[in-house]
A and B are shown apart, each in its own frame.
Chain A
């Protein structure tokens, strides 16, 4: 009897169905179980922590400084207290990694990047914004238009608590309309510059514009729908 072949092909078919429907099966299971039980599903809904250096940088909350420099009228160095004193933006979004995993209903709180840019005053000739990390390895960039989107945050709270060290705390970037790699962790410096400087992941082959719908043009794909 062809049992071996049946088991072999059966497992292969199961895997193929899982790949094509995987995320749908998972969200269906989540819907059926509710967020409480659904969060216990073994394979989904959890952050996979990527660090491109050997360790997570440690930055004390008191010692945290955010340098804002480059093509700006009034370069500034902001403390965590400075950021918390500015108007806060709260978002609840699905965190989506470009490699496939996602975490639904993540709460974020921070200052809209546009508010920080307004505070320092962007000089004429500025085109893009570059970001540096306390890990001294990761870098990111956005065009000025992208940086001014209302759901691009300099975030100091995540998941209902201060951003933890492993998630990039005390302060990280959160670029809601794009894949997770754009949301640089341990944000140390914002530089307003005259050209888009591809960051660490872009140098490793990721699209410079990593919109969640998979499009890679510079313009927010959601604007076309408005």
Chain B
């Protein structure tokens, strides 16, 4: 069997995976608590509103923490490198996005859709944090701003929820990508197919990580 079939390479290191799942957990908690806050008439009867409010507030304030901590610490080299990647766009990538994937592209570690997703999620977190803070400490702002912050918060929250639903659907329909976020590794074959430009970077593929232990893990994860 060719070496590329079973060898695996690291896609997300431990820091990135912990940050991702902490972020995911907070997003789920925020969406779940947002529903009764938004549709009070449906849920007001069974839930203590102020408890739900408190949970939503603290999860919201905590939302940027996994990202910031994973980026800034000595453990954050891979996070920082990937952040630099999603900020870099070639003309081919822009064209690919413009034509909704119907133009030739040798994809980087992240395809343009994934890059766009990262940027949109990052910006939306900041917008939700800022408008959420305005709603919590509203007395500092003019009434018209409070009204605007309410609408912007609702609109971005709805949009990001739809983005997350799409993200989850794509993860479930691309199990290898999902497994990479659970166990950290993808097969070299997968990388060559979906992220060829990355797979061929010096130090990424080439079986460097292809130890026996890892092979077993790769087989186990299908």
Contacts and interface: CB of A to CB of B under 8 A. Distances in A.
A100 B148 contact: yes
B45 A55 contact: yes
Nearest to A96: B143
Contacts of A205: 139
Interface in A93-134: 96, 98-102
A63 to B, nearest CB: 20
B49 A50 contact: yes
Given A20-B145, A101-B147, A214-B143, A12 B138 contact: no
A43 B151 contact: yes
Give the size range of A's interface with the partner: 35 or more
Contact of B44 (A42, A51, A98): A51
Contacts of A102: 147
Interface stretch (B112-120, B167-175, B196-204, B207-215): B112-120
A19 B134 contact: yes
Contact of B138 (A4, A8, A20, A99): A99
Nearest to B122: A8
Interface string A29-51: 00000000000001110001111
A61 interface: no
Contacts of A15: 127, 130-131, 152, 156
Nearest to A41: B151
A223 interface: no
Contacts of A44: 151
B147 A26 contact: yes
User: How big is chain B's contact interface, by range?
Assistant: 35 or more
A4 B119 contact: yes
A26 B146 CA distance: 13
A50 B127 CA distance: 24
Contacts of B151: 18, 22-23, 26, 43-44
Contacts of A214: 142-143
A126 B163 CA distance: 58
Contacts of B148: 18-23, 100
A102 B118 CA distance: 34
Nearest to B88: A4
A51 B116 CA distance: 40
A55 B44 contact: yes
Interface string A41-70: 011100011111111100000000000000
A8 B123 contact: yes
A29 B210 CA distance: 60
Contact of A7 (B37, B119, B156): B119
Interface of B: 37-38, 40-41, 44-50, 86-91, 93-94, 97, 115-116, 118-120, 122-124, 126-127, 130-131, 134-135, 138-139, 142-152, 154-156, 158
30 contacts: A1-B89, A1-B91, A2-B87, A3-B89, A3-B116, A3-B119, A4-B115, A4-B118, A4-B119, A5-B87, A7-B120, A8-B119, A11-B120, A11-B127, A12-B126, A15-B152, A19-B148, A19-B152, A20-B145, A43-B150, A48-B37, A48-B38, A48-B40, A49-B40, A54-B49, A56-B45, A96-B143, A99-B150, A100-B149, A166-B44
Interface of A: 1-5, 7-8, 11-12, 15, 18-24, 26, 42-44, 48-56, 96, 98-102, 166, 205-207, 212, 214
Q: Which 8 A-B pairs have the closest CB atoms?
A: A22-B148, A100-B146, A49-B40, A23-B147, A11-B123, A18-B152, A19-B148, A3-B89
